[in-house]
Structure 1
Amino acid sequence: MKKLLVSSLTTAITAAGLSMMPVQSAMADKIALVVSTLNNPFFVSLQQGAKDKAAELGHELIVLDSSNDAARELSNVEDALSRGVDLLLVNPTDSDAVVSSVRTANARNVPVVTLDRSANGGRIAAHVASDNVAGGELAGSFIAEKLGGEGKVVQLEGVAGASATRDRGEGFLKAIEGHSDISLIASQPANFNRTQGLNVMENLLQAHPEVNAVFAQNDEMALGAQRALQAAGKDILLVGFDGTDEGIKAVQAGKMDATIAQQPSLIGSLGVEVADKLLKGEDVDKTTDVPLKLITE
């Protein structure tokens, strides 16, 4: 419909000898990016990647921050739909809670593309993310190798209900369960938050001073855990996830042993590329995998 309208306008405006520039701008597709939180460098990078690609492809991008609140996420989606967006990019706060938001968009026939975390219901046009199960398994295998196949480990989990939390944990457990002399002695949520990572790690060290390794499901929690380990005078194996700038610097400085690097900017960029194809009526893959890699000193 937009192409027919632009074609008619082009004919009329060309006949009048006027410029098409204002009309092209007015007819730009409008995309909303509803992001779980911008109080995390990973999602700030994801947002920037989406912004850069939207500008390159000539789309208007609206960014709405859910502040890790599912109710606010739904409100953001309703706000975006009221603004007449053509497509919705969603980085869910929670894979179950986001279903209401997805179905709200479905009812308005607005395509939904999920980024980094999936949705457990509703119609999703496409999903762009790293393979979090493979990433968790990569972390577990690294820890198992460094421990020589035996030791006691703890895990700091992300937000309960988020697909990334579930998938990273699944991969991690799969890797360490292959080693009978490695035991997971504690696994507690710290909600992908640095301060909570610090507090939870302090409590775990008091309860389990014998721990040999820590897997934190993101770099923010790992950096919090590192502070707790340093304060307790503990020099034990520490692995994070995401490959944020600060996380990689900590690995290079010897404060963390490794991080599983995602590419958040690429996730955002590819999300907009997928959106662009959908808006043009082109076929897209249901899932777009973004490569992961192990970063060590």
Structure 2
Amino acid sequence: MKKNGKLLTSTLTTAITAAGLSLMPMQSAMADKIALVVSTLNNPFFVSLQQGAKDKAEELGHELIVLDSGDDAARELSNVEDALSRGVDLLLINPTDSDAVVSSVRTANGRDVPVVTLDRSANGGRVAAHVASDNVAGGELAGNFIAEKLAGKGEIVQLEGVAGASATRDRGEGFMKAIDGQSGLSLVATQPANFNRTQGLNVMENLLQAHPSVNAVFAQNDEMALGAQRALQAAGKDILLVGFDGTDEGIKAVQAGKMDATVAQQPALIGSLGVDTADKLLKDEDVEKTISVPLKLITE
């Protein structure tokens, strides 16, 4: 995986060391360059993921370039092409969409630049490793919590994330696994709010108009849950509300009694493990194809 230029540098380094000369300027100049392309930095979860990656890159001596795709698949591809033009050695990518990102992955593949996906997977191309929480298990945690709190009886609505994102699919799959087969529970509506707080507010307002007797809400991330909470508060509704991600604001809302629970991920650890995995790949070390990050249910 090492490039010919780096092998040449290694030979020169040996010769310079033998001559007793300083190596510091050359080592700094030849630091591995890693790109981190993030779906959006307009979300506290991905800000934390970015910070975890930055901290680990600094610790390991890598140069980290961070590019924000703004939840736009076309911009994501442009960011990847930009990163590759800068001569990055490895691409870390948090996809906007698991299908759309395939073009970005294949573009990196064409340049022989290894790809590691973070939080959301890619549905094609060669990916060296995937670092993420078990979103199916997390959705099931949320579903089981709601089923228990409702004693197996009630109406539920679900706010979905970005259509096509693996996190949306997997969290929904786990949630449905938990509530399916319980005859007393009814999923009366499931609508996308794209992991966005404002859309969570607007969608929840509409759902309350259509389903005034709803007993519980599962939002596939904390941003949507916090938007839904505002809609519920404005409507004078005190019903079960569960989010996902365990962001600082989400956890504070649980502690304040504004949300009943959140499935806590560790975004900073996802970013950190992403860079750690990149470091191993750049050293030609073996890595696991899938690296799971622990999660847990946070309640008051």
- Name the residue aligned to 1:190: 193
Deviation, 1:180, is 1.2
* 2:176 corresponds to 1:200: no
Question: For the aligned residues, what is the CA RMSD?
Answer: 1.0
Runs of 4+ in 1 over 4 A off after TM superposition: none
Deviation, 1:8, is 2.3
Deviation, 1:11, is 3.4
* 2:272 corresponds to 1:269: yes
Structure 1 spans left out of the alignment, 5+ residues: none
- Name the residue aligned to 1:255: 258
Aligned-partner Cα distance in 2 for 1:213–1:85:
46
Give the one of 109, 112, 131 matched to 1:128.
Answer: 131
- Name the residue aligned to 1:278: 281
Deviations 1:23-52 (A, max 9, x none): 111111110000000000000000000000
Name the amino acid aligned to 1:275.
A
Deviations 1:156-215 (A, max 9, x none): 000000000000000000100131110000000000000000000000000000000000
* 2:225 corresponds to 1:222: yes
Is the 1:202–1:228 Cα contact (8 Å) retained in structure 2? yes
Is the 1:2–1:27 Cα contact (8 Å) retained in structure 2? no
Give the one of 78, 82, 86 matched to 1:79.
Answer: 82
Give the one of 142, 160, 181 matched to 2:163.
Answer: 160
* 2:48 corresponds to 1:45: yes
Deviation, 1:2, is 5.5
Deviation, 1:16, is 4.8
- Name the residue aligned to 1:246: 249
The secondary structure found in structure 2 opposite 1:93 is coil
Aligned-partner Cα distance in 2 for 1:239–1:73:
30
Aligned-partner Cα distance in 2 for 1:19–1:182:
70
Aligned-partner Cα distance in 2 for 1:5–1:55:
25
Name the amino acid aligned to 1:167.
D
Deviation, 1:277, is 0.6
The secondary structure found in structure 1 opposite 2:34 is strand
Aligned-partner Cα distance in 2 for 1:271–1:254:
34
TM-score normalised over the length of structure 1 = 0.98
Deviations 1:68-120 (A, max 9, x none): 00000000000000001010000000000000000101111111000000000
- Name the residue aligned to 2:113: 110
Aligned-partner Cα distance in 2 for 1:73–1:14:
42
Aligned-partner Cα distance in 2 for 1:129–1:7:
34
